[in-house]
Amino acid sequence: MTRRFHRYILFWLILAIFIPSLSGCDIKNTGQPLSASAIKLNTFVTVKIYDIKKQSILDHCMEMIDQYELLFSRTNPESELYQLNEHQLETDLLSKPLQDLIQIGLDYSAASSGAFDIAIEPVSSLWDFTAEHPVPPDPADIQAALPYVKASGVHLQDGRITFDDPHMGIDLGGIAKGYIADRLKEYLISQGVHSAMINLGGNVLCVGTKPDGSPFEIGIQKPFSERNEVITTIPVTGQSVVSSGVYERYFDYEGVRYHHLLDPATGYPVKNDLLEVTILSDQSVDGDALSTTCFVLGLDEGMELIESLPDVEAMFITDDNQLHYSSGFPKM
């Protein structure tokens, strides 16, 4: 992995310690939260429970993450999605979670007019941002793959999927963490948990409030900060905070910086004046999809989209380090 990716993981290790201080770590009558952390989903994940201290609940959360990764991973040869893309599935009937997530992805692909496109796999598979010495793909390979990047050529019906062309494939990296976070929250609530925080490497989803009834306070990373600083904090009650930014995974090659947020229209990293987009929403999967969509759309079109949606707010950070808020975005 690149040093920058190691620093990205280190940031979330630090934030796992920092967030409790933001969120108020003096838990009335319960002390510190019960917490479990691990490297999963190619990032650092942590789940903290503030009101019910049952290790079995946390253990099951970690098991759930592993189970979903075996469904949604684009790169793990044992995953259902990998085998789907490689035409290796023994049955044409997809698992229910994979059906659900693909349908969500298709809906967002259509609603965004392709700014978000789960059929980007032919292009995204050409880029390796975690290689020890990453290099950009051959331009000819990108041009050859672009005709297959079209979610309109993916058809899901009765649990079965077909592609207009066998060269097509699906990449769920833009929404999988959000979907998993939502399922973890549902499980925690089913177990009677009313105060918890789920952090899947940039996807933060809160269950309820802090034990004293006050909101959690979530830090938003300052792009490219060498000290892993937060640029602002926001109060959050029972909602999701998802950030997408050019600082998460990138590499420099021959004087050009390449980041992991790819434009489905070009096959290359998005070029605009944005450094980061943060979405506040009820469902983390919505925040996941919208953070990518708005980044591709840019500040003006992205803000217009957010203002048209109910119960969704956003903060955009431009390359002059200015913060741009939607009309209802909360501020400390």
Annotated binding site: 174, 288, 292
- Cα distance between residue 92 and residue 161, in whole Å: 7
Sequence-distant contacts of 94-98: CB under 8 A, at least 24 apart: 94/159, 94/160, 94/161, 95/71, 96/159, 97/68, 97/71, 97/72, 97/179, 97/183, 98/71, 98/72
Binding site per annotation, positions for Mg(2+): 174, 288, 292
What backbone torsions phi and psi does residue 79 show, to the nearest 5 degrees? -80, 155
List the end-to-end C-alpha distance of the chain, in Å, as a whole number.
Answer: 36
Q: What value, to the nearest 5°, has the Cα angle with vertex 129 and ends 126 and 130?
A: 120
What backbone torsions phi and psi does residue 273 show, to the nearest 5 degrees? -95, 15
- Cα distance between residue 244 and residue 292, in whole Å: 6
- Cα distance between residue 34 and residue 42, in whole Å: 23
Pick from 257, 259, 297: which is nearest to 277 by CA? Answer: 297
- Cα distance between residue 275 and residue 259, in whole Å: 10
